Structure 1
Amino acid sequence: MTQHIKFEERIQYADDEIDLRELFATLWAGKWIVIVFTALFATGGVALALSKPDIYQASVLVAPANDDGGAGGLPGQLGGLASLAGINLGGGGSNQTVIAKEVLQSRAFLTDFIFRHQLAVPIKAVKGWNREKRQWQYNSEIYDADAQSWLKNDKGHTFEPTDWDLVKAFRENHLSVSESKDTGMLTISIKNLSPVAAKEWARLLIADINEHMRKEDVAASEARIAYLEGKLETTNITGMQQVFYQLIESETRTVMLANAQPEYVFKTLDPAVVPQEKSEPKRALIVVLATILGGMLAVLIVFIQAYVKSSHVKPVNSAVNSVS
């Protein structure tokens, strides 16, 4: 009895094993499905790869310019005196670098950057770049290049993008910021249909963030100087007057150093250059992935068809055996 059960188990196990010859026979029977699907997907992959325009990336490597506390930092003694006087004189250079990195990606700064350099049309209304003529190729469905105006749809709504649309498109399609945790260096990259624009936008970003942070710190120092001068006029205590004079001197030095330092927050170590090779799209990879996807789908269809046929045959055979 035991031997009979083991024999039945071996038969069941053998039935559960995958018969490779049967699999290859099934694939061979459906070879035309595999060939047609793979060819169609490969052709579609080629068409998709060729339809995508070339995208170029320019990168600039920068380092914090004020590792020693920056123009806005004060020695510990003066900082303590300022605190006694009820004045907050700001933090050091490391905090300034972190703030500058966040400001660089902020909505307010990017909106101002886009409109200051008139980038709305290149961001939302171009479809390519003519390398021979070094000119934009505009999307004539939404923008009239001759009249330099945005068109309207059938309902009368203009295609002109909002500030939200522009910043979103710039963040998603153009700007990327990465930081090295080991060195603290930042790599700011710009992707663009134009290699010339990619390089220029990266350069302008660094120049603008340095200028923005400089103006912010100069304005803050000048406001503190005005406050200290007002406090100086209202106190008759000699010791406090001396403290205020020292703080005013330090803030004045801060303003002078800020105005004399072109690269105020970020120092350029490796400037952006006009890229000669595209970064996207990876056309060969697109074609390979499309071909593999087509082949896998075709194989799946062949096996599904074979399973459906076998499931129809089994009930018929069972019915015939029951009748006989």
Structure 2
Amino acid sequence: MVSDQKTEENSAPKIELTHEELKKILCVQQAPDERYVDDEIDLAELWQGLMRYKVLIIGLTMVVTVVAAIVSMKMTPKYESTVLMAPVSSEGASSGLLAQYGGLASMAGISLPSGSGGVSQAEEAQAILMSYRFLSEYIKEKALKPVLFYEQWSMDKQDWISKKEGILAGIKLSLLGQPSKADFEYQGQEVLADGEPSMAESVRVFKQLLSISEEGKTGLIRLKIAWINPVQARIWANELVQRVDDELRQKAILESQDIIEYMQKKLPSIELQDLRMIALSMIEEQVKKITFAEVNKEYVFKVIDPAIVAEKPVSPKKGLIVAVGFILGLMLSVFVALILNWRKNKLELK
């Protein structure tokens, strides 16, 4: 019996595992549980760390939110006035004749004007409205520098507030010296009073107030001006539209008068009867163009909805500023709390 048991023990297979293989098996079995436990511990410690500094988080968030609210209250409100207008087409027949009979006229030795070159009056008007020449003339005529730069203008003295030179300006002046009068005149710059902003700066500020947009589907054009004074914004918006309309009307009248005068001088030298008829037709079309420009008060733009005095400001958006301040304050306070908690844990480990 004993011998049979020994035979069975000897015949049973023996499984031998090395120490490394056993370690791998144990790691595979225990790794997931340990990982989840570690994650739970880390999240718990993180939450405990934040709760440890909850007073700091709440306080700092409230401070940043209140500061954002105060800043939004201190910001100067701006009111927006809008002019809605539609382009007026007034260039059809005369430009068509120029294109149709230009070749025949050149054969007869008559050099006809080339027209607008594919640019409509509405597009030209929009370009003029944003041009330096147009805006600088308007600012100068209306004396808008003290209005645009009201913080630099003394209402009591009716003069510009002198600027105090800083340390850097003094160092620059001592190193480079005072610019000579010849250099100043050579640069072609305007002569400014002490503290007065330049016309280039005035135009730059005015362009920031002015915006022109065109609706793609309807072709309607919106001119907007945003300013701290709603009455002034309405006046500027309506005046700019009327001003550019008058300018292009006068330009069209002068161009038509020049064409009529030119064609009348050339008529005696035209021998072909057909070309004489063409010249007379062109003169007739230019007369119609002059009549159209003089009769119609709205030559380039037909004003559909003029600017009115806005009742509510478009900026600042106080609710948005406060919301952004709250989010930034919360993020900042959580970040500070995490840093403080990390430093405290590091000191405890030492």
Q: 2:112 & 2:41 partners in 1: Cα distance?
A: 80
Amino acid at match of 2:81: A
Moved more, 190-199 or 18-27: 18-27
Give the partner amino acid of 2:337.
Answer: V
Q: Give 2:244's aligned residue.
A: 209
Aligned partner (choices 15, 37, 57) of residue 34 of structure 1: 57
How much does 1:237 deviate?
A: 3.2
Report the more deviating stretch, 304-313 or 193-202.
Answer: 304-313
1:149 aligns with 2:149: no
Larger radius of gyration: 2
- Determine which of 146, 168, 171 is the counterpart of 1:121: 146
CA–CA separation in structure 1 for the residues paired with 2:258 and 2:132: 26
User: Residue 80 of structure 1 aligns with which residue?
Assistant: 100
Letter in 2 for 1:195: P
CA distance in 2, matches of 1:18, 1:241: 100
Q: Distance in 2 between matches of 1:215 and 1:186?
A: 22
Give matches, 1:300-319, under 5 Å.
300-314=335-349, 316=350
Residue 29 of structure 2: aligned partner: 7
Cα distance in 2 for partners of 1:16, 1:6 equals 17
Tell me the CA shift for residue 258 of structure 1: 0.9
How much does 1:117 deviate? 2.3
The structural deviation recorded for 1:313 is 4.4
* Cα distance in structure 2, aligned partners of 1:182 and 1:108: 31
Contact 1:56 1:280 in 2 (8 A): yes
Confirm or deny that 1:59 pairs with 2:82: yes
Q: Determine the structure 2 residue equivalent to 1:161.
A: 197
The alpha-carbon distance between structure 1 residues 94 and 34, as it changes in their structure 2 partners (threshold 3 A), is: same
Aligned pair in 2 of structure 1 residues 228, 72: CA closer, same or farther (>3 Å)? farther
Contact 2:85 2:220 in 1 (8 A): yes
For 1:145 and 1:233, the matched residues in 2 are separated by 65
> Per-residue deviation at 1:89?
4.9
**Is 1:181–2:216 an aligned residue pair?**
yes
Cα distance in 1 between the residues matched to 2:314 and 2:149: 20
Amino acid at match of 2:83: V
Q: How many residues align?
A: 296
Per-residue Cα deviation, 1:200-246 (whole angstroms, up to 9, x for no partner) = 11111110111121122222222222222222243333332222111
- Name the structure with the higher helix share: 2
Is residue 191 from structure 1 mapped to residue 201 from structure 2 by the alignment?
no
Partner of 1:291 in structure 2? Answer: 326
* Residue aligning to 1:107: 132
The CA RMSD over aligned residues, in Å, is 2.4
Change over 3 Å in CA distance of 1:91–1:289 after alignment to 2: same
Contact 1:41 1:294 in 2 (8 A): yes
Give the alignment partner of residue 299 of structure 2, picking from 259, 264, 276. 264
Unaligned segments of structure 2, at least 5 residues: 1-21, 106-110, 166-191
SS of match in other structure, 1:272: coil
Q: Which residue of 1 aligns with 2:123?
A: 98
Q: Which has the higher contact order (CA 8 A, sep 6+)?
A: 2
Cα deviations by residue, 1:153-180 (Å, 9 ceiling, x for unpaired): 23597221212111110111x1111211
Which shows bigger deviation, 300-309 or 154-163? 154-163
Task: Answer with 226-235 or 189-198: which moved more.
Answer: 226-235
Native 8 Å contact 2:97 2:282 kept in 1: no
Contact 1:144 1:150 in 2 (8 A): yes
Offset of residue 3 of structure 1:
2.9
1:34 Cα deviation from its structure 2 partner: 1.0
Q: Contact between 1:72 and 1:90, CA under 8 Å: does it hold in 2?
A: no
- The answer on whether the counterparts of 1:82 and 1:247 sit within 8 Å (CA) in structure 2 is no
Alpha-carbon offset, residue 96 of structure 1: 1.7
Q: Which AA in structure 2 matches 1:9?
A: A
* Mapped contact 2:104–2:275 kept (Cα < 8 A): no
Q: In the TM superposition, what is the alpha-carbon distance from 1:14 to its structure 2 partner? A: 4.2
Residue 149 of structure 1 aligns with an amino acid whose one-letter code is: D
1:297 CA displacement: 0.2
Deviates more, 1:236-245 or 1:285-294: 236-245
Distance 1:197 1:83 in 2: 51
Contact 1:38 1:295 in 2 (8 A): yes
Which SS does the other structure have where 1:284 is aligned? helix
TM-score (norm: length of structure 2): 0.77
Q: Percent identity?
A: 29
